[in-house]
Amino acid sequence: MFKKILIANRGEIACRVIKTARRMGIATVAVYSEADRDARHVTLADEAVPIGPPPSAQSYLVVERILDACRATGAEAVHPGYGFLSENPAFCRALEEAGIAFIGPKAHAIERMGDKIASKLLAEGAGVNTIPGYTDVIRDAEQAVAIARGIGYPVMIKASAGGGGKGLRVARGDAETRDGFQSCRTEAKNAFGDDRVFIERFIEEPRHIEIQVLGDAHGNAVYLWERECSIQRRHQKVIEEAPSPFLDAATRKAMGEQAVALAKAVQYQSAGTVEFVVDAQRNFYFLEMNTRLQVEHPVTEMITGLDLVEQMIRVAAGERLAFGQRDLRLDGWAIEARINAEDPFRNFLPSTGRLVRYLPPAEVPGAVRVDTGVYEGGEVSMFYDSMIAKLIVHGDTREQALERMREALNAFYIRGVSHNIPFVAAVLQHPRFVSGRFHTGFIAEEYPAGFNPADAPHDDPAFLAVIGAFARRRYIDRAVRISGQMPGHGRKVDAQWVVLIGAEQYPVAVEPIDGGYRITHKGTAHEVRSAWKLGEPLFHGTCNGRPFVLQLERRGLRYRIVHWGTQVDAMVMTARGAELLALMPDKPPPDLSKYLLSPMPGLLTEVAVQPGQEVKAGERLAAIEAMKMENVLKAERDCVVAAVLARQGESVAVDQPILEFA
């Protein structure tokens, strides 16, 4: 077994690998860029080596610097995590030539599975179901049209070297095929340096279901059941679960056996994933093979009891798998949610900055797990992906797992950056998701205009009003105790209150009970008991004996309450106060129409205009970059630039003015 390994990655996955290595008694080496000098994976590892400037192309993607770090520390093996160099066959070979083990598959497997055309041909040869299509080189758009007609519309045009949704188009007719062919070739050439594309039938209402496989150097291979990964936004997974609520036992077995056949055909040694697209009749077709550890691997670990990182390390060290297919059992249900630093209410634009408060939910062995690479006070950098953490739960049934996920999200407290928890919570409560009736188009169909607060309604808004009344009464009771009134002249506290949430009024009666208050709204009594104190971010309590957790903080005269993805500001006052407040005029918001505001924090990479310049609607004004995403800002109408308020190369905050218009 290895004595020391290096993790050629950062963030959550680096911390994840370190955790397993430490349990196995293996020393670890972290590598870090200048931006990650104070990162969590650096402090967790036994040793840490700097490898260059913040951009990954100058640090985490530089093979020679990783090799130098191995030589300097005596690391015997490298775990690549996912992303970066994890599927780079040249990196794999360079390590092998240096006498350093790669904790992953051999280079030939990475190469053959990394090319979508070659992998599809290999899959066909191994007896794996493949989508009807054309995998030879396509000369021009007219040949593409002829092929599409032969396959039958709709078709999917895909870049051979594609990934992440790049170089992919769906065509439902000849004109769309011509346009899609040209745009796919151009996009593939720019993104991957390879303009080869192929065409295959597009599966309507597809589900994305993947099979986890594990192979060793002795010819053994098994499948570890499936993961349902159909909840995607722009081809990026949001929620994953294992097993799939759609598959039956026969389909699960057939998919697993075909995945193992493909793994054996390519002599696969390590953990890998065979991805399938599944239609409404449970017909399944090979999509691609990912020759690395997947982001969503924890759900497989939760239902099998296996540590996939440990298995990868043991296989790389030459060990045989200690179990066969018959030894594996599928235990319960697991769900994973990706918690990202992005603003779901601003079209999921990246959010960067300091994590002012970061309190993930408490981990419970076998029930709640948090894989994270950040800490309170740390920075979410603009240079890397937006993942803050992965929240994983396990239950005996899907229903129990869903309930645990909802409660864990309630207890996930993040301040300082925007995050996608409201969106994740809304999806988890959506009737289609709860029933299991979804496919990869779910998010596009249910949120066609993006996500907004109205998409996360609370199913019991009166409960939120009750919590607002509880908080206000506890605040008053504390004030009464510390105000130093003369005996016999104590403050009289009203029992009748009105809670205002938005335009709604909730009249309530509040009376003390042992450990809390009985709060009555429209004849319904809510006995809320809690030891919550003012200033505590999490409110743990019971309502009529049922436990709950939510987030609560005082903001001026209001109490901000966050529960099940819904955020409200509750103002609590007397009935007369509410009556008078209704007569007060609303203050109009400031007119910001003459400013171009930054929609996200990031680096202002371009200012394309000058003061006095006339611009037309649709013209480019500026560009902002953060987390590998460039956001181009264009004029919404004809206008004249009065002033440039931010400099190119400057870091800008969300809503910071960049330009002023005349």
Question: CA Rg, the chain, in Å?
Answer: 28
* 288 labelled catalytic: yes
Alpha-carbon gap, residue 552 to 540, rounded angstroms: 10
DSSP-assigned beta bridge partners for residue 27: 4
DSSP-assigned beta bridge partners for residue 660: 595, 643
Alpha-carbon gap, residue 242 to 398, rounded angstroms: 9
Given the residues 228, 288, 296, 336, the one annotated as active site: 288
Largest CA distance in the chain: 95
Alpha-carbon gap, residue 308 to 298, rounded angstroms: 8
Identify the CA nearest to 45 among candidates 67, 69, 71, 68.
Answer: 69
Collapsing DSSP to helix, strand or coil, 547 comes out as strand
- Provide the CB-side half-sphere exposure for 229 (13 A, CA): 24
Q: DSSP letters along 114-128, please?
A: HSHHHHHHHHHHTT-
* Main-chain dihedrals φ then ψ at residue 448, nearest 5 degrees: -65, -30
Secondary structure, 3-state, 577-601: HHHHHCCCCCCCCCCCCCEEECCCC
* Main-chain dihedrals φ then ψ at residue 387, nearest 5 degrees: -70, 125
DSSP-assigned beta bridge partners for residue 349: 343
Alpha-carbon gap, residue 36 to 123, rounded angstroms: 40
Q: How far is CA 507 from the centre of its chain?
A: 40
Place of tokens 């722009």: 234
| Segment 306-310 long-range contacts (CB within 8 Å, at least 24 positions apart) | 306/224, 307/20, 308/212, 308/214, 308/224, 308/271, 309/16, 309/17, 309/20, 309/21, 309/79, 310/20, 310/23, 310/24
| Sign for the pseudo-dihedral over CA of 184, 186, 192, 195 | positive
Q: DSSP letters along 267-299, please?
A: T--EEEEEEEEE-TT--EEEEEEE-S--TTHHH
Alpha-carbon gap, residue 178 to 176, rounded angstroms: 5
The CA-based angle 85-90-93, given to 5 degrees, is 110
Stretch (H or E) spanning 643: strand 639-644
Place of tokens 């969590």: 40
Alpha-carbon gap, residue 163 to 116, rounded angstroms: 10
* Main-chain dihedrals φ then ψ at residue 316, nearest 5 degrees: -65, -25
Cβ neighbours of residue 540 under 8 Å, at least 6 residues apart?
530, 531, 532, 547, 548, 549
Catalytic residues: 288
